[in-house]
Amino acid sequence: MNTALPPIHEIWVYLSGSPLLALTLTLAAWQLGTWLYERSGRNPLVNPVAIAVAAVAVAILAIDMPYATYFEGAQFVHFLLGTATVSLAVPIHRGLDQLRGRVLPLAAALLGGGAASIGVAIGMARLLGVDAPLQQGLWAKSVTAPIAMGVAERIGASPTLTAVYAVVTGVLGAALGRFVLDAVGCRAWWQRGAAIGIAAHGIGTSRAFTVHPVAGAWASLAMGLHGVIGAVLIPLAFGR
Amino acid sequence: MISGLLQLLVFQGIGELLARFVLPVVPGPVIGLVALLVWLRLRGRVGEGLEQVSGAFSRHLGLLFVPAAVGVVMFVPQLRESLPGLLAALVTSVVATIAVSAWLLKVLSPRDDSDDGGDDPGGLGATRAAPAASATPAAPPTAPPR
């Protein structure tokens, strides 16, 4: 090590004051996640989001960087989530051209899938004796995270808790989706994509895009519709 | 590229404004999505710049979840006591959601729309006749352009 370098903590104070470190860390972690995902032959269990999140979490704990400081830098990436949501209009626009004859199954799947998501989650949580305040966050968890947090606020559940469940659900759905779809015997790409979009929102959609473009388009469509329907219906159904 | 990004930001802005003043129930980006969708339906085609930017976002959608999800992971230890129960609830729920949705889509769709071969409009670069079993991760029938 070169002694002419300034003390390392000074470098870190400087770096953590700028978004450089947090951004570099985030992109490097994502690069690592996608590299491992590709190396595994796109194995659904090797989820790039989960890997990147774990890598960043370990790194910021190791250098003792508070999450708030990290987020301040990484918020540029976070901001683009909204822009990316708007951009999903493009694959949805393409999906709509193939909507003929699929409206009824899609509507049924959105309502049935949404109801199953809430019913099973709440039922299991009650059965296993999870505390009531922790249960409330389960209502909106299959809806895409930004909408889920808004819905949580309206029904008096914790937005943070709901976001935790939504992220975990997204990763689980992306990882387990293929096996469930094969077990049900669901073959068409549009159906596989839509089912993942309903259950596992953005993280599932991200996975669907890497598997097949048609699956990705339908996952975005289903995710968007589930978001809009959930924002309206979940507050109405809550507590019944 | 820039024209596409600009278009997205403008629609995001429209969405945020509407969410702030007209429709507080729905988040701004979702309203922006719907507004852009309406615009694309009216216009009938997607510009080249928008095509590029939306393609890039689709490929790297997962990256954008990382900063928020890290905070979420930091929060997990606080759930220690309820963790097994919650995890069981989340796993069973997501499996049930996928199964119910997929089953409804399958049984309510016309039979010929539930085969892979029938679901392949031109232009998406997909190969035909890929049965579900060939969704093997090792050899995806069609890799999206990288």
The predicted-structure confidence for A46-56, as pLDDT tens digits, reads as follows 989 999 999 99
Point out the residue among A26, A101, A186 whose CB comes nearest to the CB of B110. Answer: A101
pLDDT at A239: 65
Mean pLDDT of A34-38: 94
Contact criterion met (CB < 8 Å) for A121 and B9: no
Each residue's pLDDT tens digit, A156-173: 888 878 888 888 899 999
pLDDT at B144: 44
Which of A193, A81, A136, A124 has its CA nearest to residue B92?
A: A124
Asked if the model's pLDDT at residue A1 lies above 70, the reply is no
Can you tell me the distance from the alpha carbon of B126 to that of A10, in angstroms, rounded to the nearest whole number? 53
Instruction: Give the tokens for residue B75.
Output: 């929060």
Q: CA of B121, closest CA in chain A: separation in Å?
A: 8
Residues of A within 8 A of B5 (CB-CB) are 83
Residue predicted with more confidence, A235 or B51: B51
ipTM above 0.90, yes or no: no
Confidence of residue A8 (pLDDT cuts 50, 70, 90): low
In this prediction the pTM is 0.79
Distant-in-sequence, close-in-space partners of A4: CB < 8 Å, separation ≥ 6: none
Contact criterion met (CB < 8 Å) for A30 and B15: no
**Residue with the two structure tokens 């690592």:** A32
- Chain centroid to Cα B22, Å, comes to 26
* Three-class SS state of A19: coil
Q: CA of A213, closest CA in chain B: separation in Å?
A: 6
A vs B: CB pairs below 8 A:
374
pLDDT at B140: 41
pLDDT at A123: 93
- Give the pLDDT means over successive 10-residue stretches in chain B (146 positions): 92 92 80 92 89 89 87 78 89 96 92 60 37 40 43
Angle at CA of residue A176, ends A170 and A179, nearest 5°: 150
Which of A194, A136, A209 has its CA nearest to residue B64?
A: A209
pLDDT at A11: 65
* Single-letter amino acid, residue A29: A
Point out the residue among B86, B101, B131 whose CB comes nearest to the CB of A113. Answer: B101
Residues of B within 8 A of A75 (CB-CB) are 67
* Single-letter amino acid, residue B68: A
pLDDT at B133: 39
Instruction: Give the tokens for residue A7.
Output: 């003390």
Point out the residue among B54, B113, B131 whose CB comes nearest to the CB of A87. Answer: B54
Can you tell me the distance from the alpha carbon of B39 to that of A15, in angstroms, rounded to the nearest whole number? 42
Angle at CA of residue A148, ends A195 and A175, nearest 5°: 40
Mean pLDDT of A176-180: 93
- Chain centroid to Cα B66, Å, comes to 16
Can you tell me the distance from the alpha carbon of B77 to that of A26, in angstroms, rounded to the nearest whole number? 22
Q: CA of A3, closest CA in chain B: separation in Å?
A: 35
Task: Kindly state the helix (H) or strand (E) to which residue A211 belongs, with its residue range.
Answer: helix A189-211
Q: What is each CA distance from B53 to A84, A94, A217, in whole angstroms?
A: 9, 15, 15
pLDDT at B132: 40
Instruction: Give the tokens for residue A116.
Output: 């199953």
Mean pLDDT of A108-117: 94
Contact criterion met (CB < 8 Å) for B40 and A98: no
Can you tell me the distance from the alpha carbon of B93 to that of B82, in angstroms, rounded to the nearest whole number? 16
Contact criterion met (CB < 8 Å) for B65 and A202: yes
Contact criterion met (CB < 8 Å) for A138 and B89: yes
End-to-end CA distance of chain A: 65
Contacts 24+ apart (CB under 8 A), B7-11: B7/B36, B7/B47, B7/B49, B7/B50, B8/A83, B8/A86, B8/A87, B8/B32, B8/B36, B8/B50, B8/B53, B8/B54, B9/A83, B11/A86, B11/A89, B11/B35, B11/B36, B11/B39
Question: Cβ-count burial of A206 within 10 angstroms (0-12 exposed, 13-18 middle, 19+ buried)?
Answer: buried
